[in-house]
Amino acid sequence: MSLLVVGLSHRSAPVSVLERASLTADAQVKLLQDTVAAEPAAEAALLATCNRIELYADVDKFHAGVAELSTLLAQHSGVGLEELTPYLYVHYEDRAVHHLFSVACGLDSMVVGEGQILGQIKDSLARAQELNSAGRLLNDLFQQALRVGKRAHSETGIDRAGQSLVTFGLEQLAAGGDVQTWARGKKALVIGAGSMSSLAAATLARAGVAEVVVANRTCDRAERLARILTEGDDTDVLARAVPMESVPVELTRADVAVSCTGATGLVLTAESVAAAVEGRTAAPSVADGDGPPAPDGEPGRTAATGAQRGNLPATGLGGEDGCPLDLPAVQGTAGFSVLGEAAVAGMAAADLEQHAAWVDNGTVGGAQRAARPRTAGPLDPASDADAIAALAATVATVGRIPERRRPEPVDEPPRPEPVLFLLDLAMPRDIDAAAHRLGGVRLVDIESLAEASAGAPMAADVDQVRRIVSDEVAAFGAALRAAHITPTVVALRTMAADVVASEIARLDGRLPGLDDKHRAEITQTVRRVVDKLLHAPTVRVKQLAAEPGGAGYADALRTLFDLDPEAVAAVSRAEDSTEKDRGPA
């Protein structure tokens, strides 16, 4: 049997795919049950977090295992196999061990070094043990992963390489400023009472918010979290619990809201967020000299004057007298000059000729014409008659004149300062992404966190953690290979003991008068001979089996001594039973 992992994460799939592939608690249980019921897999465990779904299994066939695990992931996630396959990754044997150990150390997290993943690995192991889907291999693997993760955090400064997803998200809300300064005195709403929401509530409380309101579908959990926050020695925060129905009202009072629930739909729609900030923001005032509001009436947008657009006397072009265009209408067309397609689209050839002549009367024409690129200036009615005719033909064919110079940039209206900060840590998302476009709202979600953390600098301690992972993978592989041959060695020694017992019994039949003292001495001598003959081969075969590629030594030993396969399997079953009774470390 061999270790196999098939999964997808924020590194292999876009957030939109991770959202759709997320598994409910019931779906996770059913996936594990179906995996161990499938032919290639003997045991299974599932690591499902907000940004990864990984199915671990002990399989007897690699290709069949990959196909079966991929199919099961697609079936239970609801994402078609063809769509899901490009985002899946596969790790096998030592590579699978290396991957889980790296995950446990936070090296594969969205925020490098975050420690929450250890709790999620522990929960995954507990779920597999509860469902009896984890056998000796996955029990050993996940327990060792927890030990490796703890070692990495205790022996290195990996914590300095990044923060928890909550802390990183709050830093993004604070726009890179000091979180405690930003949070001081704010009112916070935390939606959900699970591990991530609890961490968010505790982090906000330590950061100095004045109040934390906890909303959850199960009131008891919300009240328990609020009580923990209130009674905490390291914070002085007012905390209270409310039912989920109170979220819209509490949102109107909140300065910051963090949501992380297991809901399959949106918890906060864009409409509910807009209602919460209504009346709390004011449109930015129009600066002096910016001109009157634009015709479309957009708040804060102003209509640029001809001088601002670079198409009236400030740029040296001709004045309004004799211009064949309706200049006020042209000037109200954002982003275009009187040389652009918006100005000349649909003009008849005669009008186009007149317009070109009018433009050419400006100082950018005449003597300066030779100094600029031929394609950048207005056409001359005399020398460019063919070009004008061609453009007129274009108008007749496509209904417009192609743009001959870049549109002028349009100043976007400044966004009002945020009055409501939203942090969405759920997968699938709890908060409508459209809330990001609302004035007075700053939204940070999993997708924006992934983008922000992509270029985060790596701490020097990361290299040390990688060395720890490599060493631990080698040690685990050696122990695993050695353990693989142990049942064979035990079966061999059991067979040898049976041979000794059989020969002593035969001796008793041939020498019935043998006294107990001599019988015991003979028995001990025969056992010593057998032990000495077996000692060197069994020690050496364990050493060889612990090396890469040493799995075949167990088969060789079984073949050489003609061991009963069922006897070897019985030893393995007994060891697995003992391991389960012992429980997790």
Q: What amino acid positions are annotated as catalytic residues? A: 50
Which amino acid is located at 474 in the chain? A
- Residue 120 DSSP label: H
Give which of 19, 26, 20, 28 is closest to 50, Cα–Cα: 19
How is residue 57 written in tokens?
């299994």
Beta bridge partners of 92: 4
258: part of which helix (H) or strand (E)?
strand 256-259
CA distance 462 to 440: 38
- Residue 379 DSSP label: P
Beta bridge partners of 5: 56, 91
**CA torsion angle 91 93 99 102 (round to 10):** -170
Give every CB contact of residue 417 below 8 A, 6+ residues apart in sequence: 440
What number of other Cβ atoms are within 10 A of residue 123's Cβ? 14
Q: Per residue, what are the HEC states of 482-530?
A: HHHHHHHHHHHHHHHHHHHHHHHHHHHHHCCCCCHHHHHHHHHHHHHHH
What number of other Cβ atoms are within 10 A of residue 343's Cβ? 22
Give which of 248, 238, 311 is closest to 275, Cα–Cα: 248
**CA torsion angle 111 112 115 120 (round to 10):** 70
Asked if residues 143 and 129 have their Cβ atoms less than 8 Å apart, the reply is no
With b meaning 16 or more CB within 10 Å and e meaning fewer, what string describes 18-32?
bbebbbeeebbbebb
Q: What share of the chain is helix, strand, coil (3-state, %, to 5)?
A: 55, 10, 35
- Strand, coil or helix: 324: coil
Q: Per residue, what are the HEC states of 342-389?
A: HHHCCCCHHHHHHHHHHHHCCCCCHHHHHHCCCCCCCCCCCCCHHHHH
Give every CB contact of residue 343 below 8 A, 6+ residues apart in sequence: 325, 330, 333, 336, 337, 355
